[in-house]
Structures are given as C-alpha cells and as structure tokens.
Structure 1
Amino acid sequence: MRRMPASLPWILPGLFLAAGGAAGAGELDEALHRQPVAGNAVSNYEVCAACHMPEGWGTVDGEIPQIAGQHPNVIIKQLADIRGGNRDNPGMRLFASKEVIGGPQAIADLAAYIAAMPMTPRTGVGPGSDLQHGAVLYREHCVRCHGEYGEGDDARFYPRIQGQHYRYMLRQFEWIRDGRRRNANPEMVRQIADFSERDMKAVIDFASRLRPSPERVAPSVHYSNPDLP
C-alpha cells in the first residue's frame, strides 16, 4: 500500500483551519469549465492514495470509499464543497486544500484522472437478507437520480453508487438522514426522511450489489495502478 507523503502530517495547523474558507462556488464553477490536462494529476493523486489506496478502491469494510470510476463533476463538486466548508470532512479538508493539491485546474485534472481509473472487482456488500424490500425501495426512491443500475448522472452531480462499499453508503445514508452531511441533495433528504432502520439497510444492501459495466472494472483484484509503483 502506498503510504502518505511523509511531510504532510507536519504541515502547520493553521493551514488546516484556512483550507475551507478559500474555496467556494466560484472555484467550483471554474474547475468545471477547465479542460483537464493529461498526466498532471499523478503527483496529486499520491496524496489521495494514502487513504483511498493507489487504485482508488477504498476499503471493503467501508471505512474508506471507492473513488475510482466516479463521475468527474461529482468529484469536483465534493472537493470544492470540502474546501469551501460546505461538507464536513475533517480527515480530507487539509489534503483537499489549495495549498496541498492546487487550484481549480488541479481539481479538474485530478477529477478526470480518478474518473478514468478502473473500479474494483470486489466490493463490500450487505448481508443479503432483505433484498426484495430493498429493490422495491430503490425503484421507488432512488432510480430517478442514481439510475436503474446505480450509474448516477455526471451532468446533474448525481454520484455513481454502483460498485460502492455497503458500509460506506450506509454511513453516508445515516448522515444525510440525520442532517450531518450538509451538502446533501435536499430532494434526497426529503425522500429518505421517513425511512426506518430496516428500510435504510435493505435499500443500501440492494444498492451495494449494483455492478458497473465490465469495461469499467479492473481485470483482477491483483490489478495495480501503473502510475504508483
């Protein structure tokens, strides 16, 4: 596993505090309109790899999400939201900062790089004990935004959830339902406001089994990112 660059943990604490206020809607808009430059993101991705792993697959236990294959606009928005203080993620706030990864062009380059990464063939799934109920809930509440196969929508900033780890999605669902993820889509907040624990676990279990198309998936669990030897 690629380790965190040794210098990063000792960056001055003041940088951590300043990272959020420097970015906002203007930076999001600028990054969305930048043309990604091939090859520019590898050094920045080394920072991401410390947690998300060199292949971008996160961890099967759901502690770290898979980011490989995610829509570029979704990645840009989440990075801009973290930098602008619109999404609470203390663990990422420093490493997503302008001082560490650069400005809007760097965000655009990094998003394109991550979006092109092949996804893991092995994801964390739920217990599989209530999938029929989960399928009904998914069709009624999730398909319109996340798509029939969890493919999401880049243009509308709806994330790809196919191939995402069960425990990560469950945690995010809980945070959205409980108002702890401030940049959540208000429509989703309304959709899930009355979900019971059973509903929540069943629909996320079903979603965790939605798979990306074969061309988006790495050929083997032994695949390694050629850019990070």
Structure 2
Amino acid sequence: MKLMKTGLALAAGMLLLATPASYGWNEGGGEQDEAMHLEPDAENGMDVYEVCSACHLPEGWGTEDGTFPQLAGQHRTVIIKQLSDIRAKNRDNPTMYPFALPREIGGAQSIADVAEYISRLPMNPEPGVGPGDNLELGAKLYADNCVRCHGDNGQGMPDKYYPRIQGQHYKYLVRQFEWIRDGKRRNANPEMVEQIKNFSDEDMVAVMDYVSRQKPPADKVGPPGWINPDFD
C-alpha cells in the first residue's frame, strides 16, 4: 500500500495522540488545520482507504444496522475534522482508533487524501430508514430545530463542518443523536447539545426517521448494487 509516511509525520502524529485533546467543538489546530490546507491526492487516498474499507466497505456505504456509518459522499471538511478528532482522542471511537493511527494510515497528508477520496464516492441509493410511522412529527421537529445547520434537505454546510446527514443509515443517526443529546459524544457541537437536550425518545425516533428519508442529489448517488471498481 502506498502510504505517505515520514519519520517527522509519525513523530508529530504520536505526539498528538499522547495527550487527550484540550480543545472543544471546533477550535481547530493540529492535524485538522494541517490537513485542511494540504493539496489532496485522491490516488493516495484510495490506497489509504483500503484500511477503512474493512469496516465501511469498499463502496463506503457502511452497514444498515448502524454499526458503521455511510461515509461515501460526506463533505471532505467533515471527514478531516472527525478523523482528526478521533486521532487526537477528542472523539471516543475505540473500534476505529487503532486503525486511524499514523502508523496505519500516515500523517496529515493521508488524512487530506483519504477525505478527498471518500467525498467522491457515490452514495448508497438504499440506506436504512426508520419505521415511517411518525413522519409528520419528524418533519416539524426537523424544520424547527435542524434546518439552520443541516439545511432544508440534510445537505449540511461543509465550511462550518456540519455533516451531510441525508442518505445516512437510520440506526446510525439514532445512536449518534442519542449520544449527543445525552452528553456521550465529547466533540459534539454545544449548540446542538443545547438545541436537542429536551427531545424525548419519541421525538428522536421521529426526526431521525424523517432525516433517513432525505435524498441526496441524483449526481451524488450510485446505482443499486454498485461495486467499487478500485477494489475489484
């Protein structure tokens, strides 16, 4: 695998991982800022993504049961931030953490590269959706609480690191919403925590069910059964 590793990058990466991050929601710094300003190499990103594909699948579509999210089509800025947060121990993900270390995927350049590659992958046309029995409530809750940051169709805002949530698996959405609401996700946007703190479980299920049915633009979606030719 062609990984862009140097002794300096490894040393810097391990230094970042040695101490839990002290920054909050999005103060930046460290690998996040470095990766944001690097010119991405999608070809190297494909090589780096080979490590990720074991869980997120070669297509980046994740799993319908919500164990692994869909990454395909996510904003490059969001991927860089979340991967940097996991490496800096600002977001807890014990399953992913060992595979995100610099010795596995390289330094900031590899973060920039794999984020670019993932952002170009076509999205799953058939993501997991919710039960569909309270969509009217879900639509109202979304309009009243979520549109300002995530957009009218869940498209997010890449310049503010707000993720694309359209096309994401329902069960993953519910788990992350619950963790953010209940204070279990340490790198959550504090404005969102405040916004949803009084949501009941019924509210949560309704709004995430609604979100799971939001459709990405047609040019972002792959055909049913698409197989990533990069990993044939």
| Structure-2-length-normalised TM-score | 0.88
Aligned length: 212
- In structure 2, the residue matched to 1:32 is 36
SS of the residue corresponding to residue 155 of structure 1 reads helix
One-letter code of the match for 2:228?
Answer: N
Tell me, yes or no, if the aligned pair for 1:125 and 1:208 is still in contact at 8 Å: yes
Q: 1:151 aligns with which of 155, 161, 177?
A: 155
- In structure 1, the residue matched to 2:220 is 216
Per the alignment, do residues 23 and 224 of structure 1 end up closer, same or farther by CA in structure 2, a change over 3 Å counting? Answer: farther
1:38 CA drift (Å): 3.1
- In structure 1, the residue matched to 2:228 is 225
Tell me, yes or no, if the aligned pair for 1:72 and 1:111 is still in contact at 8 Å: yes
CA distance in 2 between partners of 1:212 and 1:130 (Å): 22
Structure 1 runs (4+) deviating above 4 angstroms are none
Tell me, yes or no, if the aligned pair for 1:20 and 1:93 is still in contact at 8 Å: no
One-letter code of the match for 2:17?
Answer: G
- In structure 1, the residue matched to 2:204 is 200
User: Over residues 82-108 of structure 1, what are the superposed CA-to-partner deviations in whole Å (9 max), with x where a residue is unaligned?
Assistant: 000000000111111111111111000
CA distance in 1 between partners of 2:56 and 2:43 (Å): 19
1:66 CA drift (Å): 0.2
1:60 CA drift (Å): 1.2
Range that drifts further, 66-75 or 211-220: 211-220
User: Alignment identity in percent?
Assistant: 58
1:44 CA drift (Å): 1.1
* More helix as a share of residues: 2
Tell me, yes or no, if the aligned pair for 2:180 and 2:193 is still in contact at 8 Å: yes
Counterparts of 1:82-101 in structure 2, within 5 Å, are: 82-101=86-105
CA distance in 2 between partners of 1:20 and 1:69 (Å): 28
- In structure 2, the residue matched to 1:21 is 18
Structure 2 unaligned segments of length 5 or more: list them. 1-13, 22-28
Q: RMSD of the TM alignment (CA)?
A: 1.5
| Structure-1-length-normalised TM-score | 0.89
Per the alignment, do residues 74 and 150 of structure 1 end up closer, same or farther by CA in structure 2, a change over 3 Å counting? Answer: same
